[in-house]
């Protein structure tokens, strides 16, 4: 947990510094600043977490039914990577929005209240409790169904606002 928080904080600070640099360069009239802002804004979409959540919860579903060795392979080669990618992507979004807020765009911080960011919390919560879910057969069976429902919902349901 502390490693995840440390990674989140560091990536947030780094992306905020890059966004602040881009905004400062753009404010001085250089077109390169606008390119930097555009590139950082390109990844700042809460909708991208739907596909990430679908893949993560499908791997979590597999970890619930596979034997321990195969589940360990899925954990280390898929679920861990997706977890860290989620942390980094969300931290980049938060850092970019914080930098915009610091440069006077105070309405941009409300973008963090997008309900699609709940998928970030769901991925983090599932990943941090995965060991406990694997130990208990009742929880494993229950979360097999829950992970299947979430993966299919993320993949096929149109979450229209």
Q: pLDDT tens across 50-109, in order? A: 889 999 999 999 999 999 899 999 999 999 999 999 999 999 999 999 999 999 888 888
For the chain, the distance separating the N- and C-terminal CA atoms, rounded to the nearest angstrom, is: 32
- Convert 50-61 to b/e letters by CB count within 10 Å (16 or more is b): eebbbbbbbbbb
Burial (CB < 10 A; 0-12, 13-18, 19+), residue 32, is exposed
pLDDT digits (tens, 9 = 90+) for 130-151: 888 888 889 889 999 999 999 9
pTM of the model: 0.87
């Amino acid at each position: 947990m502390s490693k995840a928080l440390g990674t989140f904080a560091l990536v947030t600070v780094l992306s905020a510094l890059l966004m602040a640099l881009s905004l400062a360069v753009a404010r001085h009239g250089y077109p390169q600043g606008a390119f930097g802002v555009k590139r950082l804004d390109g990844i700042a979409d809460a909708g991208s977490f739907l596909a990430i959540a679908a893949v993560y919860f499908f791997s979590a579903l597999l970890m619930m039914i596979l034997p321990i060795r195969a589940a360990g392979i899925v954990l280390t080669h898929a679920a861990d990577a997706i977890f860290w990618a989620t942390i980094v992507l969300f931290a980049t979004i938060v850092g970019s929005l914080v930098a915009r807020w610091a440069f006077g765009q105070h309405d941009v911080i409300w973008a963090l209240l997008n309900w699609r960011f709940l998928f970030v919390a769901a991925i983090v919560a599932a990943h941090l409790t995965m060991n406990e879910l694997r130990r208990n057969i009742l929880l494993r069976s229950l979360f097999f169904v829950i992970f299947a429902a979430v993966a299919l919902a993320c993949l096929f349901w149109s979450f229209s606002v």
